[in-house]
């Protein structure tokens, strides 16, 4: 049973219609009307000790930061403005006061940075390990919200920043290199990601973009979400993927394929979006030089394919990478 | 470190003001404005395996129901109408499909019963045990919302239903009597509580009530919340507390004090509210006969006191029971 099968159980049970609900299960956030001028967005993300983080090397300040950041990234991916955060924190009997103080400082710092209030929540005991669930709410103008479902065949596919950093950083942490200054940006990408909130707002308000998602499960999976929700497919070009020199170097060192880190690594919290080709120049002008990369195009044919272009005069066949990537429940 | 100390850490870090936030940390729900006619309420509750429930005897359908019910109870306690639910579910590697199917059926049944949509959430893996967090949102007219903070010295203190049933039921479950028909109402009170949503709405819209809370931590604790938030105190009469014959009988059998079950048991999900004495008759007429009981009065002096009245011609001194009851982190 994989994560999508589990989600589909709840999707079938839910009545995703009526009473102001514009978008239920199936996007980065739920979207609903309240009678005010703007729509409201809600997202919820859980971090579990030993599954999503490890207290041996994840500093509590950065974990508090990340708990907020991963939710803010979902709000950003729909073009929203974070407003309120709600925290449910499960702590084991032996939790340390020092850990809690640092964690809450990091959480508060991220709330300040992304302009949302901690407005409520729940604290409970766990039998073992720490579990952190945040619900973040935000708002956006109705006609500026970007869904996963509006990508069109022929759209350019864009990504912000570089890919694979967080996955490389996680691997480095596991190998005891959390304090290795030479790979600090990768460790930071895993421990304290910075969601692209400002860029996302510029993209959403520009009217130039058709569909957007944040990269949490990995490019191959998150692009498959856009394809499924838009009833379309995608081809991306391997040689266009933005992978930093540091990720390439570390991948060699760790015996990993940098392409696999970029496609399936997850947790980059970059933006993935699609836009008509005629908007290329205007889109580039919205971001700092080099921050946005075109990596392929939407197609009619379903699925996500990776194209290798011409290698040594021969064209390699494209590879199906639909939902290649992170799945919490993959067996 | 107790639960209130932990909450106060987050309370200090949060900026509970501005941007439409009417009530932050410190009530059953957060309350905020969205520009529409009504205010919105948000609550969040977590149930942890072995801490809040035990899969050995908690049927998954009833656990799914309870996950929704405990949150609906918070919305009800402020006079709100549940609207959307968001589920974060952490499942261990060895979770059973059968469990998940039954759990989700129970969750959907409670959503239907209390008229809220499952609109989103997150599913993650846990290393061990199941953890369930629900966020429920609701709405209410601004002038009908009942806070904990508006109780006045002299107010009558009222409670709905009877006290101690859920605590007795939990104890019976622990002793293997989950299928004992003779105590079924107590087992049901623990496994699948029924929040007083309709009654709460009638009380809130009546304009007769000053402050309200739901009984989740236990009468002594929840009344202490009202006292603290209202800068007041309370005296309740031991001989007025509504304790069912079944709870009294089971308490004797289990070697427990029925009074302690009623004061400190927790999880009754009944309504506790205060109202001016002049509204007594009108309040009684809002509920079925016998459903509401007056148990004491608000006072100026802080703290919660239990009065024993006259026993054998001698007046026993009142006992301080402030925050007697359930605390997840009590050492």
Interchain contact A38–B (C-beta under 8 A): yes
- How does pLDDT run across B250-272, given as a tens digit for each residue? 999 999 999 999 999 999 999 99
What whole-number distance in Å separates Cα of residue B219 and Cα of residue B159?
Answer: 9
pLDDT at residue A330 greater than cutoff 70: no
- pLDDT score for A17: 59
- ipTM for the complex? 0.92
- pLDDT score for A15: 57
Residues 107-166 of B with CB under 8 A from A: 107-108, 111, 117-129, 131, 133, 135, 137, 139
Does residue B65 sit in helix, strand or coil? helix
Instruction: With CA atoms as reference, report the closest residue to A71 among A219, A271, A269.
Output: A269
Q: B161 — alpha (psi -120 to 50), left (phi > 0) or beta?
A: left
- pLDDT score for A107: 96
Interhelix angle for A165-174 vs A184-191, to 10°? 100
What whole-number distance in Å separates Cα of residue B187 and Cα of residue B191?
Answer: 6
Contact B300, B256 (CB under 8 A): no
- Residue ranges per structural domain of chain B: 3-144, 148-320
Interhelix angle for B97-113 vs A3-13, to 10°? 30
Mean pLDDT value of segment A203-225: 97
- pLDDT score for B329: 56
Domain A3-144 in CATH: superfamily?
PurM-like, N-terminal domain (3.30.1330.10)
- pLDDT score for B328: 52
Contact A328, B125 (CB under 8 A): yes
Q: Between chains, do B14 and A126 touch, taking CB under 8 Å as contact?
A: no
Contact A306, A321 (CB under 8 A): yes
Q: Which residue of B has its CA nearest to A97?
A: B1
Interchain contact B86–A (C-beta under 8 A): yes
Mean pLDDT value of segment A122-142: 95
**B208, B273, B296 from B156: Cα distances, Å:** 11, 8, 6
3-state secondary structure B14-26: CCCCCCCEEECCC
Distance of alpha carbon A3 from its chain centroid, rounded? 16
Q: Band of the pLDDT at A331, cuts 50, 70, 90?
A: very low
What whole-number distance in Å separates Cα of residue B107 and Cα of residue B69?
Answer: 9
Contact B328, B217 (CB under 8 A): no
How many other CB atoms are there within 10 angstroms of residue A269's CB atom?
25
In the predicted model, residues of chain B with pLDDT beneath 70 are 14-18, 310-313, 325-331
Instruction: With CA atoms as reference, report the closest residue to B283 among B209, B212, B213.
Output: B209
- pLDDT score for B208: 98
Residue in B49, B89, B118 nearest the CB of A13: B118
Interchain contact A94–B (C-beta under 8 A): no
- pLDDT score for B331: 41
Distance to chain A for B91, nearest Cα, Å: 9
Contact A29, A79 (CB under 8 A): no
Q: How do strand B21-23 and strand A319-320 relate by DSSP bridges?
A: unpaired
pTM of whole model > 0.80?
yes
Q: How do strand B211-214 and strand B271-275 relate by DSSP bridges?
A: antiparallel
What whole-number distance in Å separates Cα of residue B317 and Cα of residue A91?
Answer: 39
Distance to chain A for B303, nearest Cα, Å: 24
List CB contacts (< 8 A) between A6 and chain B: 89, 91, 100, 123
What whole-number distance in Å separates Cα of residue A217 and Cα of residue B217?
Answer: 38
Interchain contact A84–B (C-beta under 8 A): yes
Mean pLDDT value of segment A216-236: 96
How many other CB atoms are there within 10 angstroms of residue A33's CB atom?
15
How many other CB atoms are there within 10 angstroms of residue B310's CB atom?
9
Does residue A300 sit in helix, strand or coil? coil
Does residue B139 sit in helix, strand or coil? strand
Cβ contacts below 8 Å, chain A against chain B, sum to 233
Distance to chain B for A189, nearest Cα, Å: 21
Place of tokens 């050995």: B56
Instruction: With CA atoms as reference, report the closest residue to A256 among A318, A170, A180.
Output: A170
pLDDT at residue A89 greater than cutoff 50: yes
CATH of B148-320, picked from 3.30.300.130, 3.40.50.880, 3.90.650.10, 1.10.630.10, is 3.90.650.10
Q: How do strand A156-160 and strand A292-299 relate by DSSP bridges?
A: antiparallel
Mean pLDDT value of segment A92-97: 92
For residues A268, A274, A277, A283, the Cα torsion angle rounded to the nearest 10 degrees is -60
Alpha helices in chain A (DSSP H): 3-13, 60-77, 97-113, 165-174, 184-191, 197-206, 219-230, 245-254, 258-264, 280-285
């Amino acid at each position: 049973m994989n994560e999508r099968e589990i989600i589909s159980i709840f999707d079938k049970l839910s009545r995703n219609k009526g009473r102001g609900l514009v978008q239920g299960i199936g996007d980065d956030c739920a979207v609903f009307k309240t009678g005010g001028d703007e729509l409201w967005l809600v997202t919820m993300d859980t971090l579990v000790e030993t599954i999503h983080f490890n207290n041996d090397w994840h500093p509590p300040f950065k974990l508090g930061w990340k708990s907020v950041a991963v939710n803010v990234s979902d709000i950003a991916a729909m073009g929203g403005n974070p407003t309120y955060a709600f925290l449910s924190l499960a702590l084991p009997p032996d939790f340390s006061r020092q850990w809690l103080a640092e964690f809450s400082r990091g959480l508060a710092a991220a709330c300040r940075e992304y302009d949302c209030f901690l407005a409520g929540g729940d604290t409970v005991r766990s039998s073992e390990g720490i579990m952190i669930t945040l619900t973040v709410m935000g708002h956006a103008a109705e006609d500026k919200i970007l869904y996963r479902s509006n990508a069109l065949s022929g759209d350019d596919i864009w990504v912000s920043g570089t890919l694979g950093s967080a996955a490389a950083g996680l691997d480095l942490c596991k190998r005891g290199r959390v304090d290795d200054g030479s790979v600090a940006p990768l460790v930071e990408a895993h421990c304290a990601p910075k969601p692209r909130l400002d860029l996302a707002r510029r993209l959403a308000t520009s009217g130039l973009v058709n569909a957007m998602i944040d990269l949490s499960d990995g490019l191959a999976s998150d692009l498959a979400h856009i394809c499924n929700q838009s009833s379309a497919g995608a081809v991306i070009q391997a040689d266009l993927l933005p992978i930093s020199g540091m990720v390439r170097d570390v991948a060699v060192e760790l015996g990993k394929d940098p392409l696999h880190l970029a496609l399936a690594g997850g947790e980059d919290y970059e933006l993935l979006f699609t836009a008509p080709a005629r908007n290329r120049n205007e889109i580039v002008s919205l971001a700092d030089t080099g921050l946005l990369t075109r990596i392929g195009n939407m197609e009619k044919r379903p699925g996500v394919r990776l194209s290798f272009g011409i290698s040594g005069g021969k064209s390699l066949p494209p590879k199906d990478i639909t939902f290649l990537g992170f799945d919490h429940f993959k067996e």
